[in-house]
Structure 1
Amino acid sequence: MTLLDKDGVHLDVADAVATVTLTNPAKRNAQTPALWRALAEAGRLLPGSVRVVVLRGEGRSFSAGLDRQAFTPEGFEGEPSFTDMARGSEAELDAIIEEYQRAFTWWRRNDIISIAAVQGHAIGAGFQLALACDLRVCADDAQFAMRETSLGLVPDLTGTHPLVTLVGYARALEICVTGRFVHAEEAERTGLANLVVPAAELDAAVRDLTAAVLASPRDAVIETKALLRGAQDRTYDEQRVAEREAQGRRLRDLAAGPA
């Protein structure tokens, strides 16, 4: 069932699995503010029955980053250009960027597991979109790069937190300030990718991972994700308490039986 198809974003739902597809392969799925709004809308449209969300890009690349038109003086029609944004007040600039970030935040909700299927280039905003997901399955031709710093900017689409969490501060800093490519083998070795497979096997690998996630009871998956996501912000003893509380909820639910 198709729930959304606009501005380079297609959302399809089949039972407990939603697939979000970037649909502008001619531009290597370059991103625009309109696409970001469509991605945010896709998150709002998810039915409550969805447990896994797969994010993929049509064509040879996952997403080559921000559309180059953003760097022209006129920017995108109907959108504030970078120059217009810089001339606005601090509050106005902050509000614009916050709106853009909404496309990248909902993938980490506790009630879903999000999986990015990455092939070809994932650059800048494309890299950050892959990082927005819980898990990343990559084709062996995948190449990640964070180019914002090379352009005099910073990664601002929520990618810095998961990048540091996955690969550590020193490697994240080096990746960002050099803008170099991280190839699939390094991505898997450093924890950026959960799995790397031949490009022809990418879809099958994502289906297998999706099936494995769905094999576990939903409430247990939700509680486990919440525990793990919060672990880095808790002390060891606080995490022990959180584990006990979560397990108590699970035991009581199991003892109560089906509603």
Structure 2
Amino acid sequence: MTLLDKDGVRLAVDGAVATVTLSNPAKRNVQSPALWRALTEAGRILPGDVRVVVLRAEGKSFSAGLDKQAFSPGGIDGELSFADLAHASDETLDEAIAGFQEAFVWWRRPDLISIAAVQGHAIGAGFQLALAADVRVCADDVQFAMRETSLGLVPDLTGTHPLVAILGYSRALEICATGRYVHASEAERTGLANLVVPAAELDGAVADLSAALLGAPRNAVVETKALLQGAVGHTYEEQCAAERAAQTRRLRDLAGIGE
């Protein structure tokens, strides 16, 4: 069932699995504020029984990043140009970027597990969108690159936190500062990719992983995801306490004992 199809984004739901597709292959799924608004809307209208969200893209490239028209004097039609944003107040500029970031944050909701199926180029905003997902399954032709610094900008679409969490500070800095390509073998070796498969097998691998993720009871997966997300910010003792609290809730739930 298709729930959304606009601005280069299509959302379809099949039972507990939702699929968000970047659907502008002719332009290599370049990104724009309109696309980000559509992605945000997709997150807001997900049915409550969805447990797994797959993020995929049509064509040879996952996403070539921000639409280059954004860098032109007139910007993207109907949107504030970079020049407009630069001359706006701090509050207006902060609000605008926060609005853009909304498209990237909902993928990590505790009640969902998100899988990015990534093929070809995932550049800049495309790289950050792939990083927004919990898990990345990549085709063997994948090429990640963070090109913002070469444009005089910084990665501001929520990508820096997961990049450092996955790679560590030094490698994340080197990748961002040089803008170099990270190919499939390095992505798999360093943990950027959970799995690398031949391009022809990408959809099948994602379907298999989705089915496996649905195997465990939902509440157990939700609690486990929340524990893992909180682990980095906790001391060892705090994490032990969080585990005890979560297990108490699970045991009582399994025994049919209410709060």
- TM-score above 0.5, yes or no: yes
- Check if 1:185 corresponds to 2:173: no
Q: Secondary structure at the match of 2:255?
A: helix
After superposition, the C-alpha distances for 1:142-189 in whole angstroms (9 at most, x for unaligned) are: 000000011100000000000000011000000000000000110000
Amino acid at match of 2:195: L
Structure 1: tracts of 5 or more residues without a match: none
CA offset digits 1:204-256 (Å, max 9, x no partner): 00001001100011000000000000000000000000000000000000011
Cross-structure match for 1:85: 85
Distance in 2 of aligned mates of 1:222 and 1:137:
21
Residue 77 (structure 1) shift: 1.4
**What TM-score comes out, normalization by structure 2 length?**
0.99
The C-alpha deviation readout for 1:49-103, integer Å capped at 9, x for no partner, is 0000000000000001000000001001111100000001000000000000000
Distance 2:253 2:142 in 1: 42
Corresponding position of 2:196: 196
1:163 equivalent in structure 2: 163
**Moved beyond 2 Å, runs of 4+:** none
Aligned counterparts of 2:257 and 2:51: Cα–Cα separation in 1? 21
Q: Residues 1-259 of structure 1 correspond to what in structure 2 (within 5 A)?
A: 1-256=1-256
Amino acid corresponding to residue 203 of structure 1 in structure 2:
D
Aligned counterparts of 1:159 and 1:231: Cα–Cα separation in 2: 19
SS across alignment from 1:215 = coil
Question: Identity rate of aligned residues, in percent?
Answer: 75
Secondary structure of the corresponding residue to residue 256 of structure 1 = coil
1:83-138 deviation digits (Å, cap 9, x = unpaired): 00000100000000000000000000000000000000000000000000000000
Cα distance in structure 1, aligned partners of 2:80 and 2:7:
17
The separation in 1 between residues aligned to 2:80 and 2:28, in whole angstroms, is 23
Aligned partner of residue 173 in structure 1, secondary structure: helix
Q: How many residues align?
A: 258
Letter of the aligned partner of 1:147 in structure 2? Answer: R
Superposed displacement of residue 257, structure 1: 7.5
Normalised by the length of structure 1, the TM-score is 0.99
By how many angstroms is 1:32 displaced? Answer: 0.5
* Distance (whole Å) between structure 2 residues aligned to residue 133 and residue 214 of structure 1: 17
